[in-house]
């Protein structure tokens, strides 16, 4: 069961993001912060219509896109975990957009 929208407390602080797979712990947190109802995705929506957030890209396509995007990372240390993660996310985002 996945969330259809972000869940926030009364001050607007994010408690769980859209697309999060709900667990008993989430429900405890929601109750603690006074959230009585949340919108969830239908089974069909969970399979792929959740805004593209979970779309799958093959490892090969991802690696090819990462190699293409490395040009923009020329001034940074790609051995640094922060930039490794950014390159992975950038490649994923680009691959999904190109799809």
Partner 1 sequence: MTESPALNQLIAETGEILSPPLIYARLNDAVNHPRTSINDIAQIISEDAGLTARILKLANSPLYGRSNVDTISRACTLIGTREVRDLSLAVSIIQSAKLPEGFSLMNHWRHSVGCGIIARNIATFLREPSIERYFIAGILHDIGLLVLFGKRSEQARAIKQAADRQLRPLYHVELEKLGFDHGRLGGELLAHWGLPANITSLVTYHHQPSLAEGFQRDTTIIHLADIICQALVFGESSEFYISPLDEQAYDRLDLPLSEIENIFNQSDRQLQEILPIMMAAA
> Rounded to an integer, what distance in angstroms lies between the CA atom of residue 87 and that of residue 81?
10
Binding-site member from 2, 40, 57, 93 for partner 1 (CB under 8 A): 93
The interface region with partner 1, picked from 2-10, 22-30, 39-47, 60-68 by CB under 8 A, is 2-10
3-state secondary structure 54-89: CCCCCHHHHHHHHHHHHHHHCCCCCCCHHHHHHHHH
Examine residue 10 and tell whether it contacts partner 1 (CB under 8 A).
yes
| Cβ neighbours, 10 Å, residue 7 | 21
Examine residue 49 and tell whether it contacts partner 1 (CB under 8 A).
no
Q: What is the DSSP letter of 8?
A: E
- Number of residues located near partner 1, criterion CB under 8 A: 30
Q: Which residues bind partner 1 (CB under 8 A)?
A: 6, 8-14, 17-19, 51, 53, 72-77, 80-83, 85-87, 89-90, 93-94
């Amino acid at each position: 069961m996945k969330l259809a929208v972000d869940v926030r407390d009364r001050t607007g602080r994010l408690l769980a993001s859209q697309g999060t797979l709900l667990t008993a712990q989430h429900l405890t947190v929601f109750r603690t912060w006074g959230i009585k109802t949340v919108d969830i995705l239908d089974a069909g929506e969970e399979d792929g219509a959740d805004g593209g957030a979970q779309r799958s890209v093959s490892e090969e396509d991802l690696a090819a896109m990462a190699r293409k995007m490395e040009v923009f990372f020329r001034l940074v240390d790609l051995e640094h975990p922060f930039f490794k993660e950014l390159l992975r996310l950038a490649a994923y985002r680009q691959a999904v957009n190109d799809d």
